[in-house]
Amino acid sequence: MAAPPYPSGQRWILHLDMDAFFASVEVLDNPDLAGKPVIVGGEDRGVVSAASYPARAFGVRSGMPSAQARTLCPHGIFLRGRHGRYGEVSRLAMAALARFSPIMEQASVDEAYLDMTGMDSFLGPPEAMGRAVKEAVRQATGGLACSVGLAPVKFLAKIASDWNKPDGLFVLHPQAVEAFLMALPVGKIPGVGGKSEARLKQLGIRTVGDVRRLSASFYVREFGKWGQALWERAHGIDPRELVPHWDAKSEGAEVTLEHDTADRELLARHLYQQCLRVGRRLRKDGRMARTITLKLKDRDFKSVTRSRTVELPVASTDGLYEVAKCMLDKEKLSRPIRLIGVSASGFAVPPRQLSLFEDQDARREEERQALDKVLDGIEERFGRGAVLRGRALRGSRHKKEPPGEPRRRGEGLL
C-alpha cells in the first residue's frame, strides 16, 4: 500500500458550504422547480437572498437589488424566503457533520468547518473524507448538494470548498500549497473585500505571489491589523483554531417598503412588525438582548444605523419596539425611507442585584415575555399570522397591510 502524499499526523481542516442553500431547499420541497431559475428574496424592492445556478447563469447574485435581478432574469421564479424551513434543514446538515469530528465550527446557517486531523485512520485519505461528508449531508437533508474543501489550514479550506462548485470536492495537499497560492488572485483570500482589492490593484498587486514581494510592515501601514493577516495568508499561515460552538452575534429583521415614505406612523407600524420577528426568534432561542440597532435606508440607498444599549436586557416585542421607536422618533427623515429594520445583540444578562426601580422594569419585561410566549405558541400551532396585534395597525390612516404580514380571514386582533 503506497504511503499517503502527506506526513503522518497531517492537520486537515474541512470546510463545507451548502450550494445555493435557500434556493436548493425550495427546489427540494417543490421538485417542479428543478432546473429553473429560482430566486429567493425577490420582492419588488428587496434584495436577492439566494439564486439557483440556472438563475446565476443570467448574472443574478445574492445581495443584488431584486429590480436588477428581474431585468437580468425576467423569467425567473421569485420566492419569498422561508427562514424557519431553512433553519430546520440547516440543523439536519449540522447534525450529520457533527458525527464526523468532535471539533466543529458552524460559521453560518449553510457553512461549517470540521477538524478532520487523524480521521484518515478511520475514513481513508482526505478525498474519501470529503466524499463521506458530502454523502452524509445529502442523506440527512433529503438530497441537497454541498461543496467541500480540505486543506492544512482554515482559510485554505474555505477557498478549496469554492473551487469546484457546485457539488464540488477539492483537496489541497500540503506539497501543493506553495504553487497554488502563488497564482491565486488576491481577491480569493477570505477577508479581501472590494475596497481592499481595489487598493491592492492600485499598488500593482493582483495575485498572492505579488503580495509576497513586499514586507508585512508595508501591509500593516496600508491596512492596519488586517495587513498582517493578509501577509500571513499569502504565505499559507493561519493560526486560527476552530471554535466548537457557534452562536449568532445578532438577530435582525428588515423590510423594503413597497413605496418610499416619510410617514412616521407607517414607518412605526413596519418597525413593530420587525421587532415582532426579532423578538419571536429571541424567545425561541431563550435569549435576551442589551443592544438594539435601528436601520434605515432612504430612497437614495443611503443607510443610517442607530444603536442603543440598555441596562436591562429585553426579548419582548414591546421592549424591543420601545427602544427602536425612540431612536426612530429622533431621526429627521430628510428623505423618504425605502427600508427599515431592527437588530438585537449583546446577548447577556447582567449578573448583579437589581435595584427596586430596575426590578419593577424586570417584572414588566417578564410579564410582556409571558404574554408574547402565549401568542408565539398560538402562531406555532395555527400558523404565522393567526394573531394580529393592535399596535401593528393602531392609528394608521393606511388600509394596506405591511408587506410580509398579510391579514388573514378570521384572525384575532389584540
Active site (catalytic) residues: 111
DSSP letter for each residue of 140-169: HHTS--EEEEEESSHHHHHHHHTTT-SS-E
DSSP secondary structure of 77-125: EEE---HHHHHHHHHHHHHHHHTT-S-EEEEETTEEEEE-TTTHHHH-S
Give the position of cell 479550506: 157
CB 151 within 8 A of CB 11: no
Pairing of strands 13-18, 111-115: antiparallel
Which letter does DSSP use for residue 19 in this model? Answer: T
**195 class by beta-carbon count within 10 Å (0-12 exposed, 13-18 middle, 19+ buried):** exposed
User: How many Cβ atoms from other residues are within 10 Å of residue 332's Cβ?
Assistant: 6
Q: How buried is 157 (Cβ within 10 angstroms: 0-12 exposed, 13-18 middle, 19+ buried)?
A: buried
Q: Which amino acid is it at 57?
A: A
Which residue type, as a one-letter code, is found at position 124? G
> What are the E-state strand segments in 195-302?
250-261, 289-298
Q: What does the alpha-carbon distance between residue 389 and residue 413 come to, in Å, rounded to a whole number?
A: 6
Three cell numbers written together for 43: 420582492
Contact present, 21 and 166 (Cβ < 8 Å): no
Taking phi first (over 0 means left), then psi (-120 to 50 degrees means alpha), and beta for anything else, what does residue 118 get?
left
- Cell numbers given for 295: 436601520
